[in-house]
């Protein structure tokens, strides 16, 4: 089998776009919002530890390692609930801890924009997700596609089982320019949501509101519900991606307006 050149080009462009998104946004906002690189590194570290390590280990145990929970997760309703709240709890607990630590340092810098730390952290958290969940995975499929077009794929996958090799071929056969577009939309929407969640958490932490962590977990879980429903085959991909595209656009507009309004108020004061 082979992957069409146009598909490879579209997938490569979509991957480059997602890879450049956090870097370009950080450079664009670094001076206007007085971003601190330490906040961004904190965001990267939190996602890498709480999502890529803790959440992944929890998922392996619940979905595969424990027979009782694995059987329970065979029910689509329980799978959706678990999938949504597992990500929400792991990531938001990490975000909350990081924000509490960042808030102590930010208190010594009263002249910076109010949401500077939130955006700095959010870009790091969202950027890490974009790379770990998006860029690195798609780079693997691009390499597999190139190997398939050269006729070297099966040789490269010789250490895998027959079922795994067939699964790789099946996924490669499903790749298309539309898939590349869907990938770019999904990762961009996730990027917007992560920054919005960071701003939400930051404002709650700075206000000293004790309910901010449960609220952030709930909001994060609600965002993940459509994706979990698709994985459980309860919703079509087109509907899920359409919802995320519209929701991300609305969130981006609201985020831009509220942050711009706060900057104007700060300047007037």
Span 215-226, pLDDT tens digits? 999 999 999 999
**Residue span of the structural domain in which 179 resides:** 5-268
Supply the pLDDT for residue 258: 76
pLDDT of residue 108: 67
Which residue, 253, 246, 248, is CA-closest to 191? 248
The total number of structural domains that make up the chain: 1
Look at residues 38, 21, 187 and name the one whose alpha carbon lies nearest to residue 109.
38
Cα gap 46→32, rounded to integer Å: 25
d(CA 83, CA 149) in angstroms, rounded, equals: 36
Angstrom distance (rounded) from CA 30 to CA 260:
15
- Does the reported pTM lie above 0.85? yes
Q: Which of 94, 93, 59 is nearest to 79 (CA)?
A: 59
What pLDDT digit, counting tens, does each position of 230-251 carry? Answer: 988 899 988 999 999 999 999 9
């Amino acid at each position: 089998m082979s992957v069409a050149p146009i598909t490879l080009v579209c997938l490569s462009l979509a991957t480059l776009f997602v890879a450049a998104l956090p870097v370009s946004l950080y450079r664009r906002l670094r001076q206007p919002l007085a971003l601190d690189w330490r906040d961004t590194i904190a965001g990267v570290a939190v996602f890498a530890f709480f999502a890529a390590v803790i959440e992944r280990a929890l998922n392996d145990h619940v979905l595969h390692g424990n027979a009782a929970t694995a059987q329970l997760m065979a029910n689509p309703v329980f799978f959706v609930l678990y999938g949504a709240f597992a990500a929400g709890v792991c990531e938001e607990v990490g975000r909350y801890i990081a924000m509490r630590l960042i808030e102590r340092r930010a208190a010594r810098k009263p002249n910076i924009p109010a949401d500077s730390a939130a955006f700095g952290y959010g870009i790091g958290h969202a950027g890490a997700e974009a790379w770990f969940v998006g860029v690195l995975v798609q780079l693997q499929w691009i390499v597999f596609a190139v190997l398939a077009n050269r006729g070297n794929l099966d040789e490269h996958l010789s250490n895998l089982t027959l079922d795994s090799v067939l699964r790789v071929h099946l996924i490669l056969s499903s790749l298309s320019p539309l898939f590349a577009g869907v990938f770019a939309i999904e990762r961009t929407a996730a990027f917007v949501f992560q920054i919005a969640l960071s701003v939400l958490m930051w404002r709650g932490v700075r206000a000293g509101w004790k309910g901010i962590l449960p609220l952030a977990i709930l909001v994060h879980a609600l965002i993940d519900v459509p994706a979990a429903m698709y994985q459980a085959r309860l919703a079509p991909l087109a509907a899920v991606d359409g919802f995320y595209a519209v929701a991300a656009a609305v969130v981006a507009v609201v985020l831009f307006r509220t942050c711009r309004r706060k900057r104007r108020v700060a300047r007037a004061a």
